[in-house]
Structure 1
């Protein structure tokens, strides 16, 4: 059944005057739920038509798609998801977030710069203070142990912003959306260091981007405990504490109710399904608007 994304009608939208040349930039980072397992083909026809209508008003830059790409896609093609879930064209929370933001600010342009990789840890691949020892302790397999995702995201951001500057395009950095932590629940080492690692990550983004008050929206993980029983609660608490300690971090609370009524999931009880990704994207949008 098609999944419907309800947006404010044109008659109720606040009409916000914006600089036509200015682009609002949102950074997004994390692991598999940020990469996204929403089914693009399950979106209803009105939503797809709206996306086509927006055109260059919204742009998503990923590892697979640079800002210079001529054939811009709003979905990712994944053989892995085709095998696991039965669909190939996937999306993450950025899609519903952008639809919601443009419904509220219909004259504004938005750019998302996203790096996400499934099954990676904040203690390892995402650690801004990356080391081989930390990567080997936190990640499974030689390839993930070689990933330096924070550095990769920073490079991607800097290259994209430099391109905007070269094109004479003004931009404003709205903030960072962070959706990660499931991998860090599976060992005491990663779970117990999560708060400090998250604070280090936020500080590193702010330093690298020269944005000392960079706004950060953290989506609280809500997976069931697996390898390490205390891991889920430790990471959830760490995310809450990091947000409480920083006026520029906003937490998106989630429920551990296995019905996943707030953010519905696929059968694996880990990854948000189409409706879950839509709900998550709309919540991210509300948080950025609240700033």
Structure 2
């Protein structure tokens, strides 16, 4: 029944996309700064209008939810959150006003690349990388791949051609907390990128990620810098991997943060999404 509902809603969204043959796919994944803590209600009316225009051409599947037009995520009765996909979508629509896009997003706060996001997941690794029983059972890479495959199949069955533009990743804060997970980040990150590219037969797929800049943790004070250095090294060794540089300046003036000094605020999410969108556009092969 759930798959039938997914199929029906999926088809309804694409009916509004007209007769254009191609649907451009962008993947989004990570932890809480990808899930997003930006406050939609704090955006200007101009920005909200841009979202409304982009939503006519961009649909999104967020986790296990059904496809919907690009917009905010309701956190509770009073609060509406958004992640970097919102302003990445605005830029893509402004650059390619006649293109139809589909964003496929999987993000869960407090999850590690060592555990829940590991393409070679094991319960032993998950027990080290994750902080609670629920996250220790999560296989987020596998779940994301399953959703992507299901989406690609539906696009093709509707007579459309899916075009995979690239992937955006914002994650690593969790791995920085422990020496075991932090020092293994580079190896696990390379495996993640390789796995997505091989799974979808796109060896040169642009892969864009934000460099973490969370405050050092007391359990492993060097963790943030260890992960940051490994991220930078990976970006230097593949011309189709792009890092959004961040500063450790405590004012967080490059990508503004909330009071916890970890999560990007409304302006920070706007700037992060804009950076993702800029790099996607600059390095699109389509």
Query: Is the structural similarity TM-score above 0.5?
Result: yes
1:157 and 2:148 matched: yes
- The farther-off stretch of 205-214 and 257-266 is 205-214
Please tell me whether the aligned partners of residues 54 and 70 of structure 2 are also in contact (alpha carbons under 8 angstroms).
Answer: no
Q: Quote the Cα distance in structure 2 between the aligned partners of 1:285 and 1:110.
A: 13
Partner residue in 1 for 2:37: 37
Partner residue in 2 for 1:256: 248
Partner residue in 2 for 1:96: 87
Deviations 1:40-83 (A, max 9, x none): 1111112222322334301111124323x5xx46111124xx8x
- Which of 201, 218, 222 aligns to 1:210? It is 201
Number of aligned residues: 264
- Which of 81, 97, 106 aligns to 1:106? It is 97
Please tell me whether the aligned partners of residues 55 and 70 of structure 2 are also in contact (alpha carbons under 8 angstroms).
Answer: no
Partner residue in 2 for 1:78: 75
Partner residue in 1 for 2:54: 54
Q: Quote the Cα distance in structure 2 between the aligned partners of 1:73 and 1:218.
A: 21
User: Could you say what the CA RMSD is over the residues aligned between the two structures, in angstroms?
Assistant: 1.4
TM-score by length of 2: 0.89
Aligned counterparts, 1:118-157, within 5 A:
118-157=109-148
Q: Quote the Cα distance in structure 1 between the aligned partners of 2:277 and 2:55.
A: 19
Deviations 1:193-231 (A, max 9, x none): 000000000111112111111210011001110131100
Please tell me whether the aligned partners of residues 55 and 71 of structure 2 are also in contact (alpha carbons under 8 angstroms).
Answer: no
Partner residue in 2 for 1:188: 179
Q: Quote the Cα distance in structure 2 between the aligned partners of 1:56 and 1:152.
A: 27
Q: Quote the Cα distance in structure 1 between the aligned partners of 2:93 and 2:24.
A: 11
Gaps in structure 1 of 5+ consecutive residues: 1-18
Partner residue in 2 for 1:10: none
Deviations 1:74-124 (A, max 9, x none): 111124xx8xxxx52100000001101111222222211000000000000
Partner residue in 1 for 2:236: 244
- The farther-off stretch of 209-218 and 139-148 is 209-218
Gaps in structure 2 of 5+ consecutive residues: 1-18
Partner residue in 2 for 1:289: 281
Q: Quote the Cα distance in structure 1 between the aligned partners of 2:45 and 2:65.
A: 25
Q: Quote the Cα distance in structure 2 between the aligned partners of 1:207 and 1:20.
A: 28
TM-score by length of 1: 0.87
* 1:55/1:74 CA distance change after superposition, 3 Å: closer
Where 1:147 maps in the other structure, the secondary structure is coil
* 1:55/1:21 CA distance change after superposition, 3 Å: farther
Where 2:106 maps in the other structure, the secondary structure is strand
Where 1:49 maps in the other structure, the secondary structure is helix
